[in-house]
Structure 1
Amino acid sequence: MTDPGRTGCAVVGGGPAGMMLGLILARCGVEVTVLEKHADFLRDFRGDTVHPSTLTLLDELGLFERFDAIPHSRLDRVELPVGGQLVTTVDFGRLRQPHPYVAMVPQWDFLNLLAAAGAEEPNFTLRLSTAVTGLLRDDAGRIVGVRHTGPDGDGELRAELTVAADGRSSILRAAAGLVPTQWPVPFDVLWFRLPRDAAGDYSLLPRTMPGRAIIMIPRVGYFQIAYLIPKGSADGLRARGLDEFKRELAVLAPECSTDGLTDWADVHLLNVELNRLPRWHRDGLLCIGDAAHAMSPAGGVGVNVAIQDAVAAARLLYRPLREHRVTDADLAAVQRRRTPATVATQLFQRVLHRVLLAPVLSGFDVSKPGPVITVGAALLRRVPALSGLPARLIGTGLRAERLPDPARR
């Protein structure tokens, strides 16, 4: 009988990175327990993008048909209005991938799919409503598990390896004394819903006005709206009143009714961060996903990068975990593997912040583009194949990770 107080790998956080890591390790013969503080996955404040590299992973996991049956929309390209004309800046159709598009699906459906697949594996345990409160250490200071609280009260889970996949506000990262390096971000995001006309034909096209930008994420029956505002300006926006906010929305999304927005409680503020840990690990602990490197929403790449972290970690660590010989050098190998792709992606985001988002949010009128944007748009019109370069960075990342053979189906 399995000891509920002990596991091979304790994964803290049931987001895309944590669930993917747990599933892959379990298929590779590692006893794994995923701890998620919520009772389910039904939260709006998560990215809906499933990228081409992740779709390929679902193929290899034998889960693509199940995923494809979930209602979703497809994003084939990203277009931006420049000087009164639409310019294709990202064309996923140019990728040499089995699924050259981004699937837009509520993240709770994606996580439920991974949870159902994990439940089929004898080595996989998912504990919902279980909040981790701290780390366990042995006499030598090595991390050997976590303390947690849940429906049955307080408890401990000992593990040969603990993985922090608990997001940008990671409790475990702080408990281990790991401090990320921060970079400035010019915007925050207001997150809310507006009704969607099911008969309409929509795309994930950013819409802008001086000082504002919105992204309309299509879901069944409604749009999830990401409303970008200058960093730190939320209080001033609220002070001008909800009616003024709804008038701005009417300009940016005239086809949507704002009647359902009756209180600021319907509008949630997301404090956007961009950071990275200089060191992703301590002896017995590894950070992945946003716990290791918080991504900006720019490009919608955070989920993809986190999943790639999980795949790399599983491939490099499943043998040491099965053989009960995980060392700090093994954890360092995961960081070395993932650092180049993470650095490249964050540099790409910082360029997007500086060249596009910061000017728009400071009042720049995109109908009168400056020389950098004008030259870039002209180059993309002349050489459309260039739109495949950002598609590669967004859709697959600098390096697409390979699934370990035992996890394939």
Structure 2
Amino acid sequence: MEKTGCAVVGGGPAGMMLGLLLARAGVKVTVLEKHADFLRDFRGDTVHPSTIRLLDELGLGEEFRRLPQSRLQNVAFPVPGVGEVAVGEFDSLKPPYNYVAMMPQWDFLNFLAGAAAREPGFTLRMEHHVTALMRDGARVTGVRYRTADGAARGIEADLVVACDGRHSVLRRTAGLVPKDFPVPFDVWWFRLPRRAAGPVSADSPDHGPVAGIVPAFGKGEALVALFRDDYYQMGYLAPKGADALIQAEGVERFRARIAALRPDLADRVDAIASLAELHHLDVRLDRLRRWHLDGLLCIGDAAHAMSPAGGVGINLAIQDAVAAAALLAPALLRGAVPEKELAAVQRRRRMPTVVVQTAQRVLQHTLFGPILAGKRSGVPRPLLFVARHAPVLRRVLPRLIAFGPRPEHAPAFARRAQRRA
């Protein structure tokens, strides 16, 4: 049977970053990804300054900056009679880490895969659907998987790391049950065209920086528009459990909802041809009490599913991967990873996870919950007052989002000089 040092299940941001870092440490690592490619829309596509700084430390920053991307430098809420009120100013941070890079996640994952492929100990297996854990008594010794042709095989590993997301097969198979926190909303993602070609008037919805974010609030619903080069990525927020109602009402009613929230985009809602174009995200917020078993570690969404609020999910997952690589590489090179080493990863990453999830829960309680319950149709006045009159706090929030409460740095074994074309 095939053998590897570390079997990483899931080729998302955490899995690909962990694979890259461990391979640079000299560990034989195999990443198993169930899909044939990374082309899946409406995944997290915000690359925060903590991750950009990490890429610089890995010698990949210049190569990353050459990828097609746009820069988010501030977040503002439109307020009737007032105009836009900034609640976060990333451009107040110290350059060159004073923006959030916006790019399709598949481009970012292909970039990481390319960097990892240059390391001799790295192997990426696409269309390898992991189905079960292999065990020797209580210890996890590998995984079983199914290939694209339906063949069932297995791979032994000194360590299995579950990076397979909020619906983790390995987490469920291992019997690790997360603690769930209530979430008042779900999100329906879709696209609308952005007609930015040619002259654009100042009052046009197409006027504004690429990577801008424009929220709109109604009674019992909300909408966020993320600017892209030639389209808007739209997120419609409604109370959790509303999907059946949306489906029953049909596409015409959904178009009307969007036009009412953003009258300036009403001329293009016909681009939503059917409700099949909506991507329903069942928003979850949960956290494992225990992230590990003997031979198995969960990180990223497999350990703690995040709300999309703040766009911090992929960056927190990448921070998990950095901590795991730094703490576990020596043991993996020895060929044995005691469970106490896995517990050390959880101890290091639990605090930032709790802090970020607590912030998301507060945001849900004070902003999203009242709006989606129909008790409020806009941003709370205290938040607007603080945003307008306390500029220092406008800089604190971006720093928390940009770097998180415990940003990780690249371990010494993974650092390289900047790679140039």
1:384 paired residue among 380, 383, 391: 391
Q: In structure 2, what is the equivalent of residue 185 of structure 1? A: 183
182 and 97 in structure 1: CA distance in 2 versus 1, 3 angstrom threshold: farther
TM-score, length-normalised on structure 2? 0.92
> Which digits, 9 at most, give the CA deviation of each residue in 1:333-368, with x for residues without a partner?
00000001000000000011011111111224445x
Q: Return the match for 2:312 from 291, 301, 304.
A: 301
Query: Which secondary structure state, in structure 1, belongs to the residue aligned with residue 234 of structure 2?
Result: strand
Hey, what's the Cα distance between the residues in 1 that align with 2:196 and 2:67?
A: 17
- Runs (5+) with no aligned partner, structure 1: none
Distance in 2 between the 1:327 and 1:198 partners? 56
CA distance in 2, matches of 1:55, 1:191: 26
The answer to whether the Cα contact below 8 Å between 2:32 and 2:128 also exists between their aligned partners in 1 is: yes
Q: Distance in 2 between matches of 1:328 and 1:310?
A: 17
Question: Residues of 2 paired with 1:375 and 1:356: CA distance?
Answer: 11
Looking at structure 1, the residues matched to 3 and 23 of structure 2 have their Cα atoms a distance apart, in angstroms, of 15
Aligned to 2:271: 260
Q: Residue 335 of structure 2 aligns to which amino acid in structure 1?
A: H
Match runs of 1:21-170 below 5 Å? 21-82=18-79, 84-85=81-82, 86-96=84-94, 98-138=96-136, 140-151=137-148, 153-170=151-168
Note if contact 2:162-2:302 (Cα within 8 Å) is conserved in structure 1.
yes
The SS at the match of 2:213 is coil
Given residue 186 of structure 2, which amino acid in structure 1 is its aligned partner? Answer: D
Q: Distance in 2 between matches of 1:97 and 1:309?
A: 25
The alignment covers a number of residue pairs equal to 401
Residue 321 of structure 1 is matched in structure 2 by 332
Which residue number corresponds to residue 419 of structure 2?
A: none
3-state SS, counterpart of residue 268 of structure 2: coil
SS of equivalent to 1:155: strand
Of all paired residues, the percent bearing the same amino acid is 55
Q: Deviations over 1:169-199 (max 9, x none)?
A: 0000011100000000000011111112234
**Residues 1:396 and 2:403 aligned together:** yes
Q: For residues 266-314 of structure 1, what are the alpha-carbon distances to aligned partners after superposition, in whole Å with 9 as ceiling and x for unaligned? A: 1121111000000000000000000000000111111111010001101
Instruction: Give the equivalent residue in structure 2 for 1:7.
Output: 4
Distance 1:142 1:400 in 2: 31
Is contact 1:83-1:366 (8 Å) kept?
Answer: no
* Displacement after TM superposition at 1:82 (Å): 4.6
Q: Which amino acid aligns with 1:187?
A: F
User: Does the Cα contact within 8 Å between 2:78 and 2:214 map onto a contact in 1?
Assistant: no
Q: Distance in 2 between matches of 1:181 and 1:84?
A: 43
Q: Distance in 2 between matches of 1:229 and 1:398?
A: 30
| Deviation sequence 1:376-406 (CA, Å, 0-9, x none) | 3223322201112221221111011011111
Deviation at 1:97, TM superposition (A): 5.4
Given that 1:82 and 1:374 are in contact with CA atoms closer than 8 Å, whether structure 2 keeps it comes out as no
- The amino acid of 2:96's aligned partner reads P
Cα distance, 1:239 vs. partner?
1.9
- Does 1:340 pair with 2:338? no
The normalised TM-score by structure 1 is 0.94
